[in-house]
Structure 1
Amino acid sequence: MAPRKKAQFDAVATLNEIESKFEMVQVLDEEGNVVNNDLLPDLSDEELVELMERMVWTRVLDQRSISLNRQGRLGFYAPTAGQEASQLASHYALEKEDYVLPGYRDVPQLIWHGLPLTKAFLFSRGHFIGNQFPEGVNALSPQIIIGAQFIQTAGVALGIKKRGKKNVAITYTGDGGSSQGDFYEGINFASAYKAPAIFVIQNNNYAISTPRDKQTAAKTLAQKSVAVGIPGVLVDGMDALAVYAVTKEARDRAVNGDGPTLIETLTYRYGPHTMAGDDPTRYRTSDEDSDWEKKDPLVRFRKYLEAKKLWSEDKENEVMEKAKEEIKAAIKEADSTPKQKVTDLMENMYEEMPHNLAEQYEIYKEKESK
């Protein structure tokens, strides 16, 4: 029997080599010290302060939204504390004319893209007015279907390319979203057409209660970009400057016609998955929470700015008080908005009322008039 020839390739070695290339990009360490001067973004002092203001304002919004939810004054709410750098620093790298296609945890990006806070509150309550975006706010409503926004983003980005616009479409999902079929279909379609898209996976370690290592054997989520032939980046999602730097580079590539990028931000959500009954103490340990609290994006960025004499406790308190006042005014306006009626739902759903609903419409209209 002839000796078996040794394979001329080593598939395992190839996989290991690819995975080893995805090292985490970081600019600031946990103490706010610059560890990579080459990647330090070219932001003015004013821009650095503005980014910090947005992050502090959004942390206050999260705290107040949780309280309002518990009071029964908000509906669906997904906490954002811990993900401010991932969300807001990536958004800060965008232009006003770019398109944002958020997941349900990404309301902060919508607000900073121009959505009035009152409408964000109404969206949480399921009110149709919360989905009526002002002219000039290039965004879609938060997607509830996990991963569906990735397919939508590929389409929006292709539309931008066909119109010859120098803009991008950006979308966000969690680590759980990267396990969906829509995720792959979206990045593959955008890759095939070199559409100007930025796909962000906010890896906060848990798809509700399922740990990331139970979802996939891949060492990183960023490496999934290799399968569709686009660049992928793993970045410290608690480091605002690193997130900004990789998103800005991805945007520059996209508008120059070089196609999409997949970004994995390694981050953490300090609260539950949503306020709809999730209890993170059942699947996360206190030691894990403590370790991630030391990486708090606000603390890290604050230390960096304080060292540059750009931030102070007084400045932070000023931003917090402003946020509280704006939130108070917005929820008051939301409370004064006429409640949504059943007939509103029917009218918004159908241009021509089906026969079976036409009869029901008249019944509800009569009830609502009393």
Structure 2
Amino acid sequence: MSVKALRQAVDSLLPSLSPVRFVTPDGRPVKPPPGYEAPSDESLREAYRRMVLGRRFDTQATALTKQGRLAVYPSSRGQEACQIAGVLALRDQDWLFPTYRDSVALVSRGIDPLEVLTLLRGGWHCGYDPAATRVAPQCTPLATQTIHAVGMADALRRRDEDGVAMAFIGDGGTSEGDFHEALNYAAVLKAPVVFFIQNNRYAISVPLARQSAAPALAYKGVGYGVPSEQVDGNDLVAVLSVLLAAVEHARSGKGPFLVEAHTYRMEAHTNADDPTRYRDRREVEEWESADPLSRLETYLRSRSLLTEEDIEAAKEEAETFAAQLRTGMNADIEVDPMELFDHVFAEPTPQLLEQRAQLAAESLFQKD
């Protein structure tokens, strides 16, 4: 390969020098870099509706945690543009591999919110059917879902299915070995997978500067031969545009793509966290001024794509949605101790059968 060809090959992998942006924090349109097209007006209106719904769901889930109805809830307030755009960029036949913070994405995918919260409520490891929804179980261990996504993407490729896998991951997860193994594996196999980093600046309490010395996390794809891009993660128009391009890249047989979205987690890591110990309130206020929901609303209103009636209708739908969630969560769970033995082995071992019989006998005795 000539030096010129090598230079072109390397350049094709590099992200933009600054995050791709279509809309400023105060809602004004700006000219994006070459190669990106604005999503359709219809998709942006739908994105707004889903963001309002997702924001209300997140607020309600946080309240349910304080009421003791959820064991834990990792809020994603401030990251809705990423989660909604990620879902809208996929088709029904595509697979989503979420983390524990991506409940809003699952709700936007159409999964019953009660099933979404089953894990966080402590009912089951997963409350929905992954095969039916094409959404993998929410992953708590960091970065393990990236390897799962590559495996699924390779399976789709081998079966000649027109499907793509998208793996959500946080900035902290990019420091895990599984993430790097997944990038290498995907590139070698040319698997149709998109790695979507939601860089919210903190891995629990560890700031980005203590995690990586790279100029941006998007550059982590270059060493594995994976083309990458970085985008303003609070600009839904830009995130959706970049992800649509990334998904099309993967679907067309060109292999994996890495996208880093620069965003921010407004709330605590979880209800067990005290963010005041590691970040300043002024920093939070600065990011609140770039709120993704108000930014999109201002932008759509400036283009006469959103009316007061549309805004009120979205809010009413969200309140109805929240009320239904409260009603469902207030119903007590019927616990069956025998479920402990379900789905452990395809063929139960003699020891497991013995333990099951022992518990069955004790349970029967207690009932009597």
TM-score (norm 1): 0.89
Most deviating of 351-360 and 294-303: 351-360
Q: Name the structure 1 match of 2:86.
A: 90
Paired letter, 1:43: S
Map 1:276-315; keep pairs closer than 5 Å.
Answer: 277-315=272-310
Q: Name the structure 1 match of 2:118.
A: 122
- Alignment gaps of 5+ in structure 2: 1-9
- Relative to structure 1, is the Cα distance of residues 364 and 98 closer, same or farther in structure 2, using a 3 angstrom cutoff? same
- Relative to structure 1, is the Cα distance of residues 153 and 119 closer, same or farther in structure 2, using a 3 angstrom cutoff? same
Q: Distance in 2 between matches of 1:73 and 1:109?
A: 21
- Relative to structure 1, is the Cα distance of residues 280 and 49 closer, same or farther in structure 2, using a 3 angstrom cutoff? same
Most deviating of 161-170 and 233-242: 161-170
Q: Distance in 1 between matches of 2:352 and 2:161?
A: 43
Alignment partner of 1:329 is 2:327: no
Alignment partner of 1:358 is 2:337: no
Map 1:331-350; keep pairs closer than 5 Å.
Answer: 331-336=326-331, 338-350=333-345
Pick the aligned partner of 1:147 from 130, 143, 146. 143
Residue deviations 1:145-179 (CA, integer Å, cap 9, x gap): 10001111111111111111222100111110000
SS at match of 1:131: coil
Shift of 1:180: 0.3
Alignment partner of 1:229 is 2:228: no
Pick the aligned partner of 1:191 from 157, 172, 187. 187
SS at match of 1:115: coil
Contact 1:115/1:134 (<8 A) preserved: no
Alignment partner of 1:71 is 2:64: no
Contact 1:151/1:185 (<8 A) preserved: yes
Q: Distance in 2 between matches of 1:158 and 1:252?
A: 16
Alignment partner of 1:272 is 2:242: no
Contact 1:119/1:334 (<8 A) preserved: no
Q: Distance in 1 between matches of 2:119 and 2:323?
A: 17
- Relative to structure 1, is the Cα distance of residues 338 and 90 closer, same or farther in structure 2, using a 3 angstrom cutoff? closer
- Alignment gaps of 5+ in structure 1: 1-14
Shift of 1:334: 4.6
Residue deviations 1:110-147 (CA, integer Å, cap 9, x gap): 22223211211222213238434176311111011100
Shift of 1:65: 0.3
SS at match of 2:253: coil
Q: Distance in 1 between matches of 2:259 and 2:125?
A: 32
Q: Distance in 1 between matches of 2:53 and 2:232?
A: 21
- Relative to structure 1, is the Cα distance of residues 195 and 362 closer, same or farther in structure 2, using a 3 angstrom cutoff? same
Q: Name the structure 1 match of 2:21.
A: 26
Q: Distance in 1 between matches of 2:193 and 2:15?
A: 25
Shift of 1:330: 3.5
SS at match of 2:19: coil
Q: Name the structure 1 match of 2:4.
A: none
TM-score (norm 2): 0.90
Paired letter, 1:125: R
Alignment partner of 1:210 is 2:188: no
CA RMSD of aligned residues (A): 2.1
Q: Distance in 1 between matches of 2:95 and 2:128?
A: 16
- Relative to structure 1, is the Cα distance of residues 40 and 28 closer, same or farther in structure 2, using a 3 angstrom cutoff? farther
Paired letter, 2:160: G
Q: Distance in 1 between matches of 2:284 and 2:357?
A: 54
Pick the aligned partner of 1:248 from 244, 248, 252. 244
Pick the aligned partner of 1:43 from 37, 40, 44. 40
Shift of 1:34: 1.2
Q: How many residues align?
A: 352
Contact 1:78/1:274 (<8 A) preserved: yes
Identity of aligned residues (%): 34
Contact 2:130/2:137 (<8 A) preserved: no
Residue deviations 1:339-368 (CA, integer Å, cap 9, x gap): 333311212323444444434423433454
Shift of 1:22: 3.1
Paired letter, 2:40: L
Shift of 1:338: 4.1
Q: Name the structure 2 match of 1:257.
A: 253
